Amino acid sequence: MTARHLVAALLIGCGSAAEPASPTDTVDTTYGDVPPVFVDTNMPDADTSADDVSEPDTATSEDTSADDSSAHDGTSEDVVTTPTLLQCTESAFDAPAGVGFEHFTSNLVVAAGAPGHSAHDVFALPGTTVTLVGKFAYGAISKDLEDEVVDLWVDRCAGFEKLATDKTDTDGRTHFALDTNTLGGPGIYHLRQHVVGDGTFTEHTLRVLPAGTQLVVFDIDGTLTTSDEELFKDVIADFFEPLFGGTYVPTEYPSAVALTQAWAAKGYVLAYVTGRPYWLTGLTRGWLASLGFADAALRLTDSNGEALPTSSGVAAYKTAHLASLQALGYVLVTAYGNAVTDIEAYANVGIPLDRTFIIGDHAGEGATMPLSGGYGEHLSWVAAQQNADQPFTLP
């Protein structure tokens, strides 16, 4: 199939975007079931509403001097304390060796090529149940691993421990329902989903954060990297396939790494929300880590259709994901992008235009804040912003 035929096939149909989860809902993440360079027409529609996002306020201290006329006599006021966020230095995961698959046919799946396992980073409120989804497949054709045992491991600062066991379904997916109460409170938890049959695994994180958490959102291609022009030529074949095959290595915008580090240093939680499809999860994590980008929750599309640079493709996917974070009570303080679909998605969820920064050819469109050439000059603006007023205390 030629690249142009592929794009035509991708544009044939569209489906509905999932409604954002409410704070009490079980949160689920799913994946498309189509190989990397083949057709997947699960394209959601952008039909999600979102609450307005206000600019964060700087916390103020009350005057507690002895001559305060408002002080109670002989009694103490109730003191509201915030939980301390658990942040572990990630332990090494000593993956158990494979013990063999339960089905002989699984060996044929593995013969399709290298493992392409993936899992989204997930947010959840304390005291709720979250569903953690993994996708397990092999080779360039993304052949699904079916009906095989996968273990979920978690690091709670004392090394990784096995938490639960599941089996992959007919789409090669796992679904672990996890009660966040079992983890020990708010925190950033490193997870591994480990295939018992051959010892391979995928990594992701669970961020258990209270309502009111303040986030800064970043697109990746064309925003942290210098260009995503290739994406608009032949959506899959000319961009994602070279990236998957290692023949194209993105170049970061000047001071892009420093930009993410500056926001993290102010105490904001970062989210990388990219239009790359899920089968590029491992490569994307590796690229971000190798250049020293600040730690952040990474979200890729669930299907190839969601990666299309259209309102019903990537704009709808980003709108739905960002709205789901707002439904948890999180505040989207500032956002960075480069494409008209970024502008659309950020506007859909009510991120203020004076805190929506667009770099590149579409800078300033839709009354957004324009950037060009990199982030060196913009860093002084970030430095002048107030520190995050988070509903938790950092250790």
Answer yes or no: do 256 and 316 share one domain: yes
Answer yes or no: do 290 and 240 share one domain: yes
pLDDT of res. 174: 98
CATH number at residue 220: 3.40.50.1000
Q: How far is the C-alpha of 16 from the C-alpha of 28, rounded, in Å?
A: 16
Q: How many domains does the chain have?
A: 2
CB atoms under 10 Å from CB of 170, counted, come to: 9
Type of residue at 225: T
Answer yes or no: do 372 and 254 share one domain: yes
Answer yes or no: do 179 and 147 share one domain: yes
- 239 backbone dihedrals φ, ψ, rounded to 5°: -125, -65
Total residues found in the chain within this entry = 395
pLDDT of res. 48: 40
Task: Compute, in degrees rounded to 10, the torsion defined by CA atoms 316, 220, 382, 368.
Answer: -40
Q: Does residue 387 or residue 395 have the better pLDDT?
A: 387
Percent over 90 (pLDDT), the chain: 64
Q: Which domain holds residue 196?
A: 86-208
- Which of 208, 229, 245 is the last residue before a domain boundary? 208
Answer yes or no: do 162 and 281 share one domain: no
Q: Please, what is the average pLDDT of the chain?
A: 81
40-44, 138-142, 214-218: segment of lowest average pLDDT: 40-44
Non-local CB neighbours of 114 within 8 Å, separated by 6+ positions: 138, 139
Is it the case that residue 13 has pLDDT exceeding 60? Answer: no
- Which of 208, 224, 243 is the last residue before a domain boundary? 208
Answer yes or no: do 355 and 328 share one domain: yes
At residue 183's C-alpha, the angle toward residues 182 and 186, to 5°, is 125
Answer yes or no: do 333 and 361 share one domain: yes
- Which of 157, 192, 208 is the last residue before a domain boundary? 208
Mean pLDDT over 173-183 rounds to 96
Dihedral class, residue 3 (left if φ above 0, else alpha if ψ from -120 to 50, else beta): alpha
19-33, 123-137, 150-164: segment of lowest average pLDDT: 19-33
Distance of CA 202 to the CA centre of its chain: 15
Answer yes or no: do 131 and 221 share one domain: no
Answer yes or no: do 235 and 129 share one domain: no
> Does pTM surpass 0.85?
no
pLDDT of res. 65: 38
CB atoms under 10 Å from CB of 232, counted, come to: 12
Q: How far is the C-alpha of 309 from the C-alpha of 315, rounded, in Å?
A: 7
Answer yes or no: do 98 and 181 share one domain: yes
Q: Does residue 107 or residue 280 have the better pLDDT?
A: 107
Both structure tokens of 381: 């603006």
Answer yes or no: do 101 and 198 share one domain: yes
Type of residue at 221: D
Please indicate, yes or no, if residue 392 is contained in any of the structural domains: no
Nearest by Cα to 304 from 338, 340, 279, 337: 279
Answer yes or no: do 142 and 284 share one domain: no
Q: How far is the C-alpha of 221 from the C-alpha of 227, rounded, in Å?
A: 6
Non-local CB neighbours of 246 within 8 Å, separated by 6+ positions: none
Please indicate, yes or no, if residue 143 is contained in any of the structural domains: yes
Please indicate, yes or no, if residue 145 is contained in any of the structural domains: yes
- Which pLDDT band, with edges at 50, 70 and 90, does 271 fall under? very high
Please indicate, yes or no, if residue 371 is contained in any of the structural domains: yes
pLDDT of res. 247: 53
Please indicate, yes or no, if residue 40 is contained in any of the structural domains: no
> In this predicted model, what pLDDT tens digit does every residue of 19-47 receive, in sequence order?
434 444 444 444 443 333 333 333 334 34
> In this predicted model, what pLDDT tens digit does every residue of 224-255 receive, in sequence order?
998 654 444 334 444 455 555 555 567 899 99
Mean pLDDT over 359-380 rounds to 97
